[in-house]
């Protein structure tokens, strides 16, 4: 790839050049609760489906069927089978991280990708989603959610036993830290060092677009592959914002101390990766943000029409991407409800498996 400095004549896009040196890899995405993982899963499911890769998909008849390990490591009997001569290429449904189980499924050279979120915002999101706020409203006879978060931060014993597994250091638990080690500084530090060796990238929700550009580089993807529409977003948060005081933030971070250390460690690692990627990554990130904004606008218009009109949005070539198009159907898939996507792909895999068995 080279330019003439005067008129920036482009002979080959960087995207085309990088795609040329790409290698086939198997990818495991650790989907961590309430971090934005559904959006990343959609990216990887689209990526795998468009290339005919074998995705580790759940059997649809299991309890908590969308989990490949419900509060436990991967359970092979929950995964829809593929022909024995083939291998799985992508994993992106919930399961607790285990180096051995991930490698057994995807090979020793699997590329592990994780995701984390600022611990207070992750906690508040989990409190909404898993029903802690509803339980506290009933128990304390208080409606104001900001007040409920404040009450809890000062007295975590208010958490019902059944919800503790979702509220107490849940990100660390998803990454494989045992509950008995939540307050063990030595164990946490060793846990972080071990993860650092295992994961090629840990996406940070607060640096989402920057993380995706790194993901694109690591997996030699195209820019189109990492386009997304935010999924599983709680729209009530804008209508009913929860205000968390500095004191309450401090208390929540103390309660979820392991999550705080996990976040600080891999946020620092991400910033380091970005800094080591060279000055040109800033240009690539801005290019992605600009195209992404245009695609969101196009797709929201298609959604307002209930995806009834077949239209095509054309993206011009830049030094960071080849020219490509986005269709109404592709918008619909990017905005598809997670369970619908997984069911659609599982049924597709089932049809393929039936053909093999004949």
Instruction: Please report whether residue 1 resides in a domain.
Output: no
The residue range of the domain holding 236 is 25-357
Instruction: Please report whether residue 5 resides in a domain.
Output: no
Mean pLDDT of 129-134: 97
Q: How confident is the model at residue 6 (pLDDT cuts 50, 70, 90)?
A: very low
Mean pLDDT of 19-34: 80
Tell the residue number behind the tokens 């164990």, with chain if given. Answer: 187
Total domains present in the chain: 1
- pLDDT tens digits, one per residue of 44-70: 999 999 999 999 999 998 889 999 999
Q: How confident is the model at residue 7 (pLDDT cuts 50, 70, 90)?
A: very low
pLDDT at 23: 56
Distances (CA, A) of 242 to 30, 45, 156: 28, 33, 18
Running DSSP on this structure, what letter comes out for residue 208? H
Q: Is the pLDDT of residue 17 over 70?
A: no
Mean pLDDT of 240-257: 96
Contact criterion met (CB below 8 Å) for 80 and 57 = yes
Q: Where are the beta strands (DSSP E) in 146-300?
A: 199-204
pLDDT at 20: 42
* Residue 61, token pair as written in the block: 């008849």
- pLDDT tens digits, one per residue of 89-114: 999 999 999 999 999 999 999 999 99
Q: What is the edge-to-edge ordering of all strands in the sheet holding 90-91?
A: 55-56, 90-91, 27-29, 111-116, 199-204
Strand partners, 116: 204
Running DSSP on this structure, what letter comes out for residue 12? S
Provide the pairing of β-strand 27-29 with 199-204: unpaired
Instruction: Please report whether residue 350 resides in a domain.
Output: yes
- Write the DSSP assignment of 89-122 as a string of letters: -EE-SB-B--HHHHHHHH-TT-EEEEEE--HHHH
- Work out the mean pLDDT of the chain and round it to a whole number: 92
Instruction: Please report whether residue 15 resides in a domain.
Output: no
pLDDT at 63: 87
CATH number at residue 102: 3.40.50
Closest CA to 93 of 147, 159, 54, 45: 45
pLDDT at 237: 62
Instruction: Please report whether residue 196 resides in a domain.
Output: yes
Q: How confident is the model at residue 15 (pLDDT cuts 50, 70, 90)?
A: low
pLDDT at 234: 66
Instruction: Give the SS3 label for residue 245.
Output: coil
Contact criterion met (CB below 8 Å) for 164 and 130 = no
Q: How confident is the model at residue 357 (pLDDT cuts 50, 70, 90)?
A: confident
List alpha helices for 230-279, DSSP H.
236-239, 246-255, 257-275
The residue length of the chain stands at: 358
Instruction: Please report whether residue 81 resides in a domain.
Output: yes
pTM for the whole structure: 0.92
Alpha carbons 217 and 273: distance in angstroms, whole number: 11
Instruction: Please report whether residue 11 resides in a domain.
Output: no
Q: Is the pLDDT of residue 11 over 50?
A: no
Burial, 107: exposed, middle or buried (Cβ in 10 Å; 0-12, 13-18, 19+)?
middle
Instruction: Please report whether residue 204 resides in a domain.
Output: yes
pLDDT at 4: 28
Q: Is the pLDDT of residue 298 over 60?
A: yes
Longest Cα pair distance anywhere in the chain, in angstroms?
70
């Amino acid at each position: 790839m080279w330019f003439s400095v005067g008129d920036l004549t482009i002979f080959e896009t960087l995207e085309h050049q990088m795609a040329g040196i790409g290698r086939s890899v198997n990818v495991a995405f650790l989907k961590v609760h309430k971090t934005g993982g559904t959006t990343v899963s959609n990216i990887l499911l689209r990526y795998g489906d468009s290339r005919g890769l074998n995705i580790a998909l759940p059997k649809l008849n299991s309890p908590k069927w969308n989990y490949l390990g419900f509060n436990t490591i991967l359970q092979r009997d929950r995964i829809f089978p593929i022909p024995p001569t083939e291998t799985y290429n992508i994993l992106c449904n919930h399961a607790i991280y285990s180096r051995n189980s991930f490698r057994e499924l995807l090979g020793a050279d699997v590329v592990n990708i994780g995701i984390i979120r600022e611990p207070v915002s992750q906690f508040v999101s989990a409190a909404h989603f898993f029903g802690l706020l509803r339980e506290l409203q009933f128990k304390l006879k208080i409606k104001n959610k900001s007040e409920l978060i404040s009450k809890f931060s000062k007295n975590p014993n208010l958490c019902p036993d059944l919800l503790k597994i979702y509220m107490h250091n849940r990100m660390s638990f998803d990454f494989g830290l045992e509950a008995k080690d939540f307050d063990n500084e030595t164990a946490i530090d060793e846990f972080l060092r071990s993860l650092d060796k295992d994961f090629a990238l840990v996406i940070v929700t607060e640096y989402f677009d920057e993380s995706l550009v790194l993901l694109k580089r690591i997996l030699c993807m195209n820019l189109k592959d990492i386009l997304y529409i935010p999924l599983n977003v709680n729209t009530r948060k804008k209508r009913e914002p929860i205000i968390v005081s500095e004191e309450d933030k401090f208390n929540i971070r103390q309660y979820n101390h392991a999550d705080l250390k996990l976040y600080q460690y891999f946020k620092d690692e991400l910033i380091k990766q970005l800094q080591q990627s060279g000055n040109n990554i800033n240009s690539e990130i801005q290019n992605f943000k600009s195209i992404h904004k245009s695609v969101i606008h196009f797709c929201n218009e298609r959604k307002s029409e209930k995806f009834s009109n077949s239209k095509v949005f054309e993206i011009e070539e830049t030094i960071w991407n080849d020219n490509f198009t986005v269709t109404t159907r592709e918008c619909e898939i990017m905005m598809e409800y997670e369970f619908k996507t997984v069911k659609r792909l599982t049924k597709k895999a089932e049809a393929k498996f039936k053909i093999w068995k004949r």
